[in-house]
A and B are shown apart, each in its own frame.
Chain A
Amino acid sequence: MDLSCTDEEEEFRARLREWLTAALPGLPPRPDPMDWPARRAYDCGWQRRLHDAGYADVHWDASPTQRLIFLEETELAGAPYVGANFVGLLHAGPTIAAEGTAEQRARWLPPVLRGDDVWCQGFSEPGAGSDLASLRTRAVRDGDAYVVTGQKIWTSHAEVADWCELLVRTDPEAPSRHRGITWLAMPMDAPGITVRPLRTLAGSTEFAEVFLDEVRVPVENRVGEENDGWRVTMVTLSFERGTAFVGEVVACRRLLGELARAARKNGTWDDAVLRRRLGRLSAEFQALWRIVQANVSEAQATGGVPGAGGSVFKLHYSHARQELYEAAAAVLGPDSLDLGRDWTLDRLSSLSYTIAAGTSQIQRNIVAERILGLPKGR
C-alpha cells in the first residue's frame, strides 16, 4: 500500500500545474448555461487548448494514475469541465478507439481530440431505461445504408452535436435481446432527425428527445459487427463507471469546505447536530477519494478498464452528494429556497445522481451479482 506518487507522476503533476496556471487566466468568460452554442464553443475552445498543450488524449492514452492526477489538478485549479465533449472523450471516443477500424479511428478520433467535433449519445429510449437491452429503435439495411426509425431520450448536447453514437436494433428475431443490437455513428445533420429539448425539474434544458424518421446512416459508419453492438457498448459503459467522477469528488470536498465557512459565518456551525453532520460527510468524501485511488491502482495494475468497483463507488458517491446538498440547505436556511443561489440549483441537479448512468437499484444488482456472486433475478 503506497499513496505517494512516483517521481514521474510528480513531474507530470508539476508540469500540468504550471501549464494550468498560465492557461486559465486566458480563458473567455463562462457562457450562459442556457446558451447551448456558446457552451459548445467554450467547451471546444478548452479542449483545443488541452490538445495544443499535449493533454488531449489524457483520458485514453495516459496511465490511470496520470488520468487521476489530471482530473484532480484541473478541478483544484478551477479549470472547465469536459462539458460538451463528455460523450466524445469518455464514451464514443474510447469505443471507437477500442472497436473501430483504422479508417474509423482516423476519421473520428482526431476531430474529437482537437475539439472540432461534438458527440451525443443515443442509447436510452422511452421504453428502454435501466433495461437498455430492450431498445426498439429499428435499423433496416437498404443497400449501403441503414434506415433508422425510432426515438431516443436523455440525449445531452443533442442540439449542438455533430455526431450521435446510436444503438439500434438490427435483428428483432435474435434469440437473445442482447444480440441483434448494432452500434452506429449517425451524423446529426442527416435528414429525418428532429431534436426536442427536455426541460428538467431544475428549469434548464440539459437533455433532449431525438426523433428518428427513416434516417439513412451509411453502413461504413457501423463500429463492430452487425448485431454485436451490445458488447461494443459495454466498453463505453465501463468507462463511465470508472474514473468519470474523480473531478466531482474533488469538487465535493471543496464544496464542503465552502459550506463549513458559510456555517461559521452565519452561526449554524454552533448547532452541534449540523456540525457533526458536516463532519460525517467530510469523512465520507475523504473515504470516497481513497476508493477512487484504490480503483485506479487496480486499473493501473491490471491494465483494464475499471470493473464493478466503480459501482461500489458510484452507489455511495451519488448518495453522499445528495446528502451534501441537504446539509447545505440546513446551513442556508431561508436562502436555500432562493433559486438565485448556486446551492439551490445544484441541490435540484443532484436529484439525478442516483438515476443517471445506472440507477442505484441497478448498481446494487451489479454489486450483488458480479462481486458478491448472488444469483440473477428480481
Chain B
Amino acid sequence: MDFRLTEDQRALRGGVRDLLEGRFGREALRAAVDSGGALDRDLWRELGAAGFFALRLPEEEGGVGLGLPEAVLVFEEAGRVLLPGPLVATHMAAGSVPGAAEGAVVVTAVDEGLVPWLEQADVVLGDTTGAVPMRSVDPLTPLHRVPVPVSVPAPGEGEARLQAALLTAAEQVGSAGRTTETAVSYAREREQFGQVIGGFQAVKHLCAGMLVRTELARAAVRAASLTVDPVEIAGAKLLADEAATANARDCLQVHGGMGFTWEADVHLHLKRAWVRAGLRLPAARAEEAVAAGL
C-alpha cells in the first residue's frame, strides 16, 4: 500500500498546473467573468490538444491511456483555477461523441433539472424539452432549467454517472484547496490591532478547519478513484461539496469586507461550488446512497 502520488502522477499534476496557470490565470479568469459567460473555443481546443478530454481513452484511439486516479488529479487542478465550461460532460463524452476528445466539440448534459452551457455547446446529451434560460448565480456557468416530472424516480447511478460525480467532486476539492491557500495568504498580510490577523486564534482556527475539510475530501476522492466503489464515490462527492462550499464561506469571512466585494475572487469559488453541489449527485441523494450502504 502506498497512497501517495507516484512520480508520474506528481509530474502530471505539475504539468497541468503550469498549463492552467499560464493559460487561465487570474487575468483570464476576470476577463471571462467580464465577457458574460462566453466559452473560449481556443482554450477548449488547447485543452483538447493537451489531452484533457482524451485522458482516459486508450492510446490506440488517440487518447492518453491514463485512468480515473489521474483524471481526478487533473480535475482537481481545473477546480483550483475555476476553469469554465462543461468539462466533465465533454471529458465523459470523449470516445463516444466525435470531436469531443480533441476539444473540437463542446458537449454538455442535462443533469438534476439543469443544463449548463446549453447555448454554447455543440452537442447536448439528454432531453432539453421545455428548457428555459435562468440568470445563473455563477457568472461563469450559464444555466437552463428543464422541467423534471415529479412522478419520475431519480435516475439510478450508473458507472458513467458515478464517474462524472467523482470528477465534479475532484473540482470541488481543487476549489477547497485554493480557497484555503487564499485565506491563509490574506491572513498573513492583513494587519489589524497592530499585527497580522493570521496570528489571532479566531482566524487561525477558521483556516485550520478549512484544511481539515480539504484533506478529508481529498482523501475520499482519491480513494474513490481507486476503488470505484459507488458508496465511496457518493461519500466523496458529499464531503467534497461540503469542503468547497464551507471553505469558500470561511475564506470570505477571513477576507472581511473585501470578501463581500465583486473584485475578490472568493465569490466566484462559492458560486461555482454551489452549482457543482447542485449537479452530479447532490447531497440529499449522496447521503441516501451512503446510508443505503450501511
Contact = CB atoms under 8 A, between A and B. Distances in A.
Interface of A: 1-6, 9, 65, 68, 256-257, 260, 272, 275-280, 282-284, 286-288, 290-291, 293-294, 296-298, 300-301, 309, 312, 315-316, 361, 363-365, 367-369, 371-378
Nearest to A285: B235
Contacts of A373: 184, 188
13 contacts: A3-B3, A276-B284, A279-B294, A286-B235, A287-B216, A287-B239, A288-B216, A293-B3, A363-B208, A365-B208, A368-B205, A373-B188, A374-B203
Q: How large is the interface on B (under 10, 10 to 19, 20 to 34, 35 or more residues)?
A: 35 or more
Contact of B232 (A275, A286, A315): A286
A315 B219 CA distance: 15
Contacts of A278: 291, 294
Contact of B222 (A1, A286, A361, A378): A1
Interface stretch (B29-37, B140-148, B193-201, B244-252): B193-201
B220 A297 contact: no
Counting from the closest, the 8 A-B pairs by CB-CB distance are A283-B235, A279-B291, A377-B199, A260-B294, A368-B204, A276-B287, A364-B208, A290-B219
Interface stretch (B4-12, B94-102, B152-160): B4-12
B246 to A, nearest CB: 13
Given A287-B217, A290-B219, A376-B199, A367 B208 contact: yes
Contact of B205 (A2, A4, A364): A364
A300 B234 CA distance: 29
Contact of A280 (B207, B227, B290): B290
A315 B238 contact: no
B63 interface: no
Contacts of A4: 1
A3 B69 CA distance: 12
A121 B231 CA distance: 42
Contact of B1 (A9, A260, A272, A283): A9
B258 interface: no
B2 A301 contact: yes
A279 B288 contact: yes
B219 A284 contact: no
Contact of B208 (A9, A301, A372): A372
Nearest to A319: B212
A interface secondary structure, majority: helix
B238 to A, nearest CB: 5
Contacts of B211: 312, 367, 371-372
A34 B188 CA distance: 51
B208 A368 contact: yes
Q: For B198, B231, B287, which residue has the most chain A Cβ atoms within 10 angstroms?
A: B287
Nearest to B217: A287
Contacts of A372: 180, 184, 204, 207-208, 211
A65 B195 CA distance: 44
B133 interface: no
A277 B33 CA distance: 37
B223 A290 contact: yes
Contacts of A368: 198, 204-205, 207-208
B22 interface: no
Given A283-B234, A283-B290, A291-B215, 5 more contacts: A1-B225, A68-B1, A287-B216, A312-B212, A368-B204
